[in-house]
């Protein structure tokens, strides 16, 4: 970058050196010329000093940019000025062998009460491979007004089934999972519902698919108030009952307790269900409750428990139960219940297993093809031989029974390889 400057300095010094003997020789007969030559050398030295100063300043500026503007944090994130930029996610390859096929021709990687109704025993077994659960996320953290402004965006590839195929490219579209910002006690954007506790999920490859799980991501405004040993959370969240009729946000409150003894959380949900379709015009307030716990047991083992009750609708089990029934101009919320237990045992530091059972049931009187009961069972073996690497094999069982007596079941063996970054 500075070679032209150096070359100019070098040529000037060489030229001066060549001219110096001639000047000295001339000085024997012309003293005035010696004084002129000395003046020229002083001027030249001033130019050299100035160029060196400019070069040193430029090098210091480059060093400042390198050291203070773009650096790496101890965790490996990028520090750009005052903003920390983190990039994460994982690549996950999955293979599934199911005992039954699906009448819609899909492998139904994510099993729900809805997809179970497409199971057709006459179609025989189905094998499928996929990498769609792979994720990519970007987060930032910037000091702002005495606190930290954080943002987070994440996507996977479960979007737009109708636009993809498995014939040639398997070109599945990205899907928004999270997009939110937080500052201080406030959070705004799309992320896990405040009615959901991640501690209730457990380490199962059928992520978010056990029957009683509270599993919802949606846009919201949340306030969190910490206290010693936990925090309180209040949120207004996107309302939805399948008919897009709700005019009042879903209201959620949660209290979390944490300590060396483990974690316990209690949440309450209030919803205003509405119908206004030109024929029926009615509304009704409904409520639901959830309790979760994560309790250490022996060594690294832990037990995770969850119990839910009330107008759970789309919040529980990937919408196993409807939010409401509409008839004769009235809307009535549908109540259900769910419970689960997940025990994780460490065989070694790298090898562990989880055993999970979950069951749900209908509280109100239903009819026809409404879900009457839904239960799931999983057992797995997870191996993490290196950092950021996990291999797993899991047996999965799904059972669904409708009010009219129809029943659907599915057995699967699921194998996965996950590489995080």
| Mean pLDDT within 246-258 | 95
Q: Which of 38-42, 214-218, 326-330 has the lowest mean pLDDT?
A: 38-42
**What is the Cα–Cα distance from 132 to 113, expressed in whole angstroms?**
21
Round the average pLDDT of the chain to a whole number and report it. Answer: 88
From residue 272, give the alpha-carbon distance in Å to each of 63, 140, 244. Answer: 60, 36, 12
CATH level 2 (architecture), domain 73-420: Beta Barrel (2.40)
Sign of CA dihedral 396, 401, 405, 406: negative
Q: Does 250 have pLDDT greater than 90?
A: yes
Long-range CB contacts (within 8 A, 24+) of 164-173: 172/132
What confidence category does residue 67 fall into, taking pLDDT thresholds of 50, 70 and 90? low
Length of the chain: 421
Q: Name which residue leads in pLDDT, 67 or 146.
A: 146
Averaged pLDDT, 69-92: 92
Average pLDDT over residues 66-81: 81
Of 292, 84, 66, 104, the C-alpha closest to 194 is 292
Report the alpha-carbon distance of residue 313 to residue 286 in Å, rounded: 11
Q: What is the pLDDT of residues 196-207, one digit of tens each?
A: 999 999 999 999
**Which tens digit of pLDDT belongs to each residue from 282-309?**
999 999 999 999 999 999 999 999 999 9
Contact at 8 Å (CB) between 180 and 193?
Answer: no
Average pLDDT over residues 353-371: 94
Task: Give the start-to-end residue ranges of the domains of the chain.
Answer: 3-69, 73-420
pLDDT of residue 17: 46
Q: What is the DSSP string of 219-264?
A: EEEEEEEEETTEEEEEEEE----SSS---S-EEEEEEEEEETTEEE
pLDDT given at position 8: 46
pLDDT confidence tier of residue 4, bands split at 50, 70 and 90: very low
Q: What is the pLDDT of residue 363?
A: 96
Closest CA to 69 of 57, 55, 84, 59: 84
Average pLDDT value for residue range 317-327: 92
Scanning the structure block, which residue is given the tokens 């996320």?
137
9 confidence band (pLDDT: 50, 70, 90) = very low
pTM: 0.82
């Amino acid at each position: 970058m500075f070679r032209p400057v150096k070359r100019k300095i070098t040529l000037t010094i060489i030229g001066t050196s060549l001219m110096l003997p001639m000047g000295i020789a001339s000085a024997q007969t012309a003293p005035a010329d010696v004084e002129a030559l000395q003046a020229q050398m002083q001027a030249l030295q001033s130019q050299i000093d100035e160029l060196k100063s400019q070069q040193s300043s430029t090098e210091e500026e480059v060093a400042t940019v390198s050291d203070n503007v773009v650096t790496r944090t101890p965790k490996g994130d990028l520090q750009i000025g005052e903003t920390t930029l983190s990039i994460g996610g994982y690549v996950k390859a999955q293979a599934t062998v199911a005992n039954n096929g699906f009448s819609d021709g899909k492998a139904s990687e994510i099993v729900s009460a809805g997809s179970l109704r497409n199971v057709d025993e006459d179609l025989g077994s189905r094998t499928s491979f996929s990498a769609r659960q792979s994720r990519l996320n970007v987060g930032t953290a910037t000091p702002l007004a005495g606190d930290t402004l954080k943002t987070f965006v994440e996507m996977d590839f479960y979007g737009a089934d109708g636009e993809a195929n498995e014939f040639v490219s398997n070109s599945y579209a990205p899907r928004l999972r999270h997009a939110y910002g937080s500052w201080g006690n406030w959070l705004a954007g799309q992320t896990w519902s405040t009615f959901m506790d991640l501690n209730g999920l457990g380490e199962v490859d059928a992520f978010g698919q056990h029957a009683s799980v509270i599993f919802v991501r949606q846009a919201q405004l949340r306030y969190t108030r910490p206290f010693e040993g936990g925090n309180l959370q209040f949120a207004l969240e996107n309302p939805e009952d399948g008919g897009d009729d709700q005019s009042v946000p879903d209201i959620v409150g949660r209290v979390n307790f944490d300590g060396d003894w483990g974690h316990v959380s209690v949440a309450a949900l209030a919803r205003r269900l509405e119908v206004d379709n030109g024929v029926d015009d009615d509304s009704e307030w409904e409520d639901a409750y959830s309790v979760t716990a994560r309790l250490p047991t022996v060594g690294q083992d832990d037990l995770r428990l969850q119990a839910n009750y009330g107008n759970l609708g789309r919040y529980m089990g990937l919408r196993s139960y409807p939010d409401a029934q509409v008839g004769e101009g009235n809307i009535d919320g549908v109540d259900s219940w769910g419970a689960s237990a997940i025990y994780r045992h460490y065989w070694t530091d790298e090898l562990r297993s989880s055993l999970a059972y979950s069951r749900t049931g209908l509280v109100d009187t239903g009819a026809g093809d409404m879900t009457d009961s839904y239960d799931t069972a999983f057992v797995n073996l997870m191996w993490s031989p290196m950092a950021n690497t996990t291999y797993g094999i899991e047996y999965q069982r799904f059972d669904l029974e409708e009010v009219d007596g129809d029943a659907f079941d599915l057995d699967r063996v699921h194998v996965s390889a996950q590489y995080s970054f």
